[in-house]
A and B are shown apart, each in its own frame.
Chain A
Amino acid sequence: MTSETRDGTPIQGSHIKETSSSFGITPEQYMLPAAQQIRMLGPDGQLIAEEAQGTSPGHEYPIPEDDALLAAYEALVVGRRVNDQNYALVRQGRLAVYPSSHGQEACQVGAALALGTGDWMFPTYRDTVATITRGVDPLEVMVSFRGDWHCGYDPLDYKISAMSTPLTTQLLHAVGVAHAAKLRGEDTVVLAMCGDGATSEGDFHEALNFAAVFEVPVVFFVQNNGYAISVPLSAQTAAPSLAHKAIGYGMAGEQVDGNDMVAVLATLRRAVELARKNSMPLLLEAITYRMQAHTNADDDSRYRESAEVEQWKQRDPLLRMRTFLTERGVLDSDAETRISGKAEEVAAALRLAMTTEPDMDPLEIFDHVYAAPTAQLREQRAKLADELERSQEG
């Protein structure tokens, strides 16, 4: 725990002291983000010289190995295809709603690939691609967006919570999962995801504070995509950056170029490693951009200029990674063909699934409210069953 103080001397978690001194820097230098966001690939896909990556002592990030980068590229391509396919399915009226992460796929992929199989992920409604990358069948993820009443996949099987619609409430659940694991002596790391607008919610504050006080290994991963539906970040906060909020809780914060797959994976991996090794939380802010509207129900022309969107197209995470890996000799045309074939297979399966109505049993809505339905729910179930039977007869 932290050292108590009644005389105004700083309270600092022991892990912060140990970690910062192992890097030869002060706790404040460690907790504050590096002077500029961490970036390894330029917008043109060229590897940036190490001295220009934004790193400083204690804020250094080794480049992941080529195999991991190729796997990340594959997930980027599949993720982009899923985003665009679902967007099209909504426009065709075959999907009720889809909050797309088009443009944010590097964050999505990095989140999933930085975790081990025993770790947990707490996604938001915009994190379909992260969920798929961690292994959930896209058709299972899309169950609730199709209009069914449940989350589709088994959260315990995948160690992925049901995608959260309320904002930042799930960060506290992430803290609880990590806390339970810690009490049992397990080294589970939990990745807790939210967006920039969500950092204004009270539970963001409570979750970061609890995680720091209880010294649990949670990596808070904020995808700062510029807008909370229509409201820009400048209307959410007066902080120098979202990563700066970390020091207020006694944890380390870092800012990364969220459209740079290499940097996202490198920083997330190290955050997960530090969280696991030292049982402590970290805050990572990824600067990215939501290329499409909030959902199909939103009209983004009312609050942003198309020139701004065009500018972000130049920083597309997928194209940057393709250029980088091709020039590095990691991605050849065979691999490209294989990967795009896989993406098309996933898209085709989604299209096929959406041609049929979901198979829903109306009576099941009573079955999971409690472990065993109450007498009242049994009565209501019987009433609906009777109605259904009569409507079939009629």
Chain B
Amino acid sequence: MATATTPAPAGATTKPTTFAAALNTAMSDAMEGDRSVCVFGEDVGTLGGVFRITDGLTQRFGANRCFDTPLAESGIAGMAMGMAINGMRPVIEMQFDAFAYPALEQIFSHIAKTANRSRGRVRLPMVIRIPYGGGVGGVEHHCDSSEAYYAHTPGLKIYTPATVSDAYLMLREAIDSPDPVIFFEPKKLYWTKEAVDLSALRTQYEAAANDESAPAAGVGAEGRAVVVREGTDVSLISYGPSVSTALKAAAAAAEDGISAEVLDLRSIVPFDDAALEATVTKTGRAVVIAEAQGFVSVAAEIVARIQERSFHSLSSPVKRVTGFDIPYPSPKLEEHHLPSVDRILDALDELQWED
């Protein structure tokens, strides 16, 4: 377990930076350092992506390194796999969560399995970026939380940052990973700002990545959940877009005299069981919060792991606050679907507080 999100060094260079800018800079820093890194997808070139996450990459690195493809997601994923076989490190963009589904056969049957099928001889260092989740007034097919589909498939790594600095650091880490990474970007966070110095983060990341004395695991965020708020009475377990909601709920709960700890998982695969055990052992209560529908979900997996590993530390049944088991609702109704501060507070009330 990491102790805290990397603090941005104080100083004149620290300025409000968006989540989107952190992702953009992560790609351009990686492209600058490694000619094998290339970026492609639908509208990512001239336009800079529908969310502008790849803005300026074609202009800066040329159309051989950042380019538009025909409108075909299976083609994008399949071609990326071939390029990864042949020495490249592709970073591809799926325009929206639900638009990635045509690529699922490529991802499930090949990208996830090729290392295993080739007995480790063929590695696929590639990143599939997926803007996901709701809360932005998007219409049908633009707001899915599809992480469980991928997390259920062995061979894929699943990252989802919740802060601006993690957006930068985790995308750098994903690009450097020898394994295929599904990189889920909470689209409701794209325009949030934090005081972060990206060039300092770059120096920090590259120093750690190049430090041969450091153990391979333990440098980055992969498999390392982080406690983003300390507490003693209950653990709010979350990831990606729901972390900020969990933090708000923790602040509100504090006013009611409840001390809530908030754990940001950061990577769903690999999963940080040790961090989960540590926080649940400490507080004895847990509420799992995620936007995705709850049935057979990542949230369900987390609850199962808590009960398997930390049952004797629990003072209360574990609760979940998730989306309903329905197709993603219309923009005017999404507020009723998404986990809210009130719904989390209600869940806290429902926990067992007396022995």
Chain A contact residues, CB within 8 Å of chain B: 120, 149-151, 154-157, 161-162, 166, 169-181, 183-184, 188, 202-203, 206-207, 209-210, 213, 364, 367-372, 374-376
Contacts and interface: CB of A to CB of B under 8 A. Distances in A.
A370 B181 CA distance: 11
Given A181-B86, A369-B116, A371-B179, A175 B79 contact: yes
A370 B121 contact: no
B225 to A, nearest CB: 12
Interface stretch (B26-34, B197-205, B245-253, B268-276): B268-276
Contacts of A172: 74-75, 77-79, 81-82, 106
Nearest to A161: B85
A157 B223 CA distance: 33
Contact of B75 (A180, A210, A374): A210
Contacts of A203: 74-75, 78, 105-106
B179 A173 contact: no
Given A177-B82, A210-B69, A369-B154, A375 B75 contact: no
Residue among A180, A207, A369, A371 with the most chain B CB within 10 A?
A: A180
A146 to B, nearest CB: 14
B154 A178 contact: no
B78 A371 contact: no
B117 A151 contact: yes
A175 to B, nearest CB: 5
A372 B217 contact: yes
30 contacts: A150-B116, A151-B118, A154-B118, A155-B118, A156-B85, A156-B122, A162-B117, A169-B105, A169-B110, A172-B75, A172-B106, A174-B82, A176-B82, A176-B86, A177-B86, A178-B82, A180-B88, A206-B70, A206-B72, A206-B75, A368-B120, A370-B115, A370-B179, A371-B115, A371-B177, A371-B178, A372-B216, A374-B269, A374-B271, A375-B274
B192 to A, nearest CB: 30
Contacts of A188: 86
Nearest to A168: B78
Contacts of A213: 69-70
Given A176-B80, A375-B271, 9 more contacts: A120-B86, A154-B118, A156-B121, A169-B106, A176-B81, A209-B75, A368-B119, A369-B155, A371-B115
A171 B85 CA distance: 13
A243 to B, nearest CB: 22
Contacts of A368: 115-116, 118-120
A169 B242 CA distance: 35
Contact of B109 (A157, A166, A370): A166
Interface string B94-138: 000000001001100110001111111111000000000000000
Contact of B270 (A155, A157, A180, A374): A374
Contacts of B123: 371
Contact of B78 (A176, A178, A184, A370): A176
Nearest to A210: B75
A210 B85 contact: no
Contacts of A157: 121
Nearest to A184: B87
B210 interface: no
B84 interface: yes
A393 B163 CA distance: 52
Contact of B83 (A176, A367, A370, A372): A176
A181 B85 CA distance: 11
A137 to B, nearest CB: 15
A375 B83 contact: no
Contact of B85 (A173, A364, A375): A173
Contacts of A367: 120
A56 B178 CA distance: 50
A178 to B, nearest CB: 7
B243 interface: no
Contact of B82 (A175, A206, A372): A175
B38 interface: yes
B64 interface: yes
B91 to A, nearest CB: 14
A154 B115 CA distance: 11
B82 A150 contact: no
Interface string B182-216: 00000000000000000000000000000000001
Nearest to B114: A162
B105 A176 contact: no
Contact of A183 (B88, B120, B274): B88
A151 B119 contact: yes
B157 interface: yes
A364 B117 CA distance: 12
B82 A162 contact: no
Given A151-B117, A209-B70, A210-B70, A375 B273 contact: yes
Contacts of B120: 367-368, 371
Given A370-B155, A376-B270, A206 B179 contact: no
Nearest to B155: A369
Nearest to A364: B119
Nearest to B67: A214
Contacts of A154: 118, 121
A387 B102 CA distance: 40
A176 B271 contact: no
